[in-house]
Amino acid sequence: MCAAVSLGNSELLAGLSALVRQGNALTAQMLAHLLELEERLLHLELGFSSLFSYCVEALSMSEGAAGRRVTAARVCRRFPQAFQHVAQGDLSLCALCALAPHLTLESVSELFQTCRGKSRRQVEELLAVRFPRPDVREQIRRLPTRAPGPAVNTRALPRAKTVEAFSAPPPRAETVEAFSAPMPQPTSIVSASSSTSSAEMPVPDRPRRARELEPLSADASACISQPMRSYAS
């Protein structure tokens, strides 16, 4: 990092391009090593259930990086010419992952040539035009409803006892003194009610991660690529 600070603009740009080329070559070599490791079943001997788990746990890759590399390595196993495209930077790992389910012996050369130097989004749009899929069916979900509380029967209220309480004679002096004394605080009742209310409170749902739009066909990809027009125009 200190060496990069002392470089001039032209040297910095040239060095960065050289590092990118080296990184592409190293990525192709890493895919070859992953394939050889899977062929020898070394991940099973080391106690890992799959090549993916070996990349995540032993090589400390993220799940997304491990999934892309495992999928791209298996594409290179089926079509060895993919190694050269990765080493030259013509095809990224994301592009190989998008092409994986559509590659055949008859279409591999054409698809590799068509998708050279394109981003993942551009590759998905090309695949949507060539291999259209049906639109996503609309779904209607029913909102969750809360369970109704216990019904109160007003007819069963003790009306007669209430009348008797109002018509009862006034209490005696000692009874008045008993009522004038400070009453103990119902701590147990308050704590029980607070715990019950906190347990019955609904827990808010976690915000879901917004899914990225994926083109399904030529019409769908065209609609996604065009900006939305406002009603005022």
Q: Which amino acid is at 26?
A: L
The model's pTM: 0.60
User: Looking at residue 226, what is its pLDDT?
Assistant: 46
The one-letter code for the residue type at 120 is: R
CA distance 220 to 86: 30
pLDDT averaged per 10 residues in sequence order, the chain, 233 residues: 82 94 96 96 95 96 96 96 96 94 93 93 92 75 74 57 49 48 49 45 52 64 46 39
Quote the CA–CA distance of 161 and 165 in Å, as a whole number.
6
Cβ 124 vs Cβ 215: under 8 Å: yes
- Our separate counts of H helices and E strands in the chain read 13, 0
Task: Collect all residues with Cβ–Cβ distance below 8 Å to 30 and sequence separation of at least 6.
Answer: 69
What is the reported pLDDT for 207? 52
What's the confidence (pLDDT) of residue 188?
45
> What distances in angstroms separate CA 18 from CA 2, 10, 12, 22, 201, one per listed residue?
18, 12, 10, 6, 59
Q: Which pLDDT score is estimated for 143?
A: 78
Cβ density class 184-198: b for 16+ within 10 Å, e for less: eeeeeeeeeeeeeee
How far apart are the C-alpha atoms of 56 and 33, rounded to whole Å?
Answer: 16
Residue 172: other Cβ atoms inside 10 A: 9
Residues 104, 75: contact at Cβ < 8 Å?
A: no
Cβ of 75: how many Cβ atoms within 10 Å?
Answer: 23
Which one, of 71, 95, 99, 72, lies nearest residue 83 by Cα?
72
Alpha-carbon distance of 200 to 188, in angstroms, equals 18
CB 86 within 8 A of CB 107: no
- Which DSSP string do the residues of 49-62 spell out, in sequence order? SSHHHHHHHTS---
